[in-house]
Amino acid sequence: MILDRFRIPGRVAVVTGAGRGIGAATAVALAQAGADVAISARTEKQLREVAAEVEAAGRRALVLPADLSEPGAAEALAQRAVAGFGRLDVIVNNVGGALPRAFLDTERRHLENAFQFNVGIAHDLTRAAVPYLLEAGGGAVVNVSSVMGRVSGRGYLAYGTAKAALSHYTRLAARDLAPRIRVNAIAVGSVATSALDIVMTDDGLRTQMEQGTPLRRIGEPEEVATAVLFLASPAGGYLTGKVLEVDGGLDQPNLDLGLPDL
């Protein structure tokens, strides 16, 4: 059965940023496909709620609250996941983000912080996981990037630059880790998560985003989670070094931040 290729029974996955939104949906999707899941985020209460959904799918959840920006935290996450489940097969690097700012308000530290948060943590966790992935026979890494890593829009200098770096990091890491470990990424568009709370509650902003998206709607976290599952499972077994665009067809930003001309 072709659908069996999307199953990952007995596998173990680590998902960062798993307390809500894309990370939470991904953890549940991987569990429904047969994986035990180690979930990490800063807020334990949110993780407990996601863990309940993982367990409702019949799989085990390991709640590992952490601030992955702290030195050594990403490495410790990989170690704790293996200590809890005995193996490691899938890494989903979902932690990321950066606040929009005008060009002249974007200082060097904003670029450095965005790079560390979006690329540095992903590298730390992936690097720490590699020996465990190899020990389990190989594995898959999925990085969550953004459409802003390939399109230009005012106010997204730090965020877009960091996500572009994450996308290319994916290509480079895939070459370094082939053939036993596959590394791919997803470039997401506008998705209905807490990051868009202001947009989702403002009819004008929401309409602007929907009308600026070729599919005329905002995406759902489960739609990204489905793509993660594809890349993490045997269904995506002949893909590595690729960036899958799950963005509703965007080729330019769909929200005007209203920044003035210089």
How far does CA 53 lie from the centroid of its chain? 19
Q: How many CB atoms lie within 10 A of CB 26?
A: 33
Q: Cα separation of 17 and 159, whole Å?
A: 17
**Placement of tokens 């993780």 in the chain:** 47
Q: Cα separation of 244 and 239, whole Å?
A: 10
Instruction: Dump the DSSP string for 107-159.
Output: -HHHHHHHHIIIIIHHHHHHHHHHHHHHHTT-EEEEEEEEGGGTS--TT-HHH
Closest by Cα among 159, 182, 161, 156 to 171? 182
Our answer to whether residue 132 is catalytic in this structure is no
Question: Of 132, 159, 169, 238, which is the active-site residue?
Answer: 159
Identity at 216, one-letter amino acid code: R
Closest by Cα among 112, 129, 162 to 40? 129
**Which residues are catalytically annotated?**
159
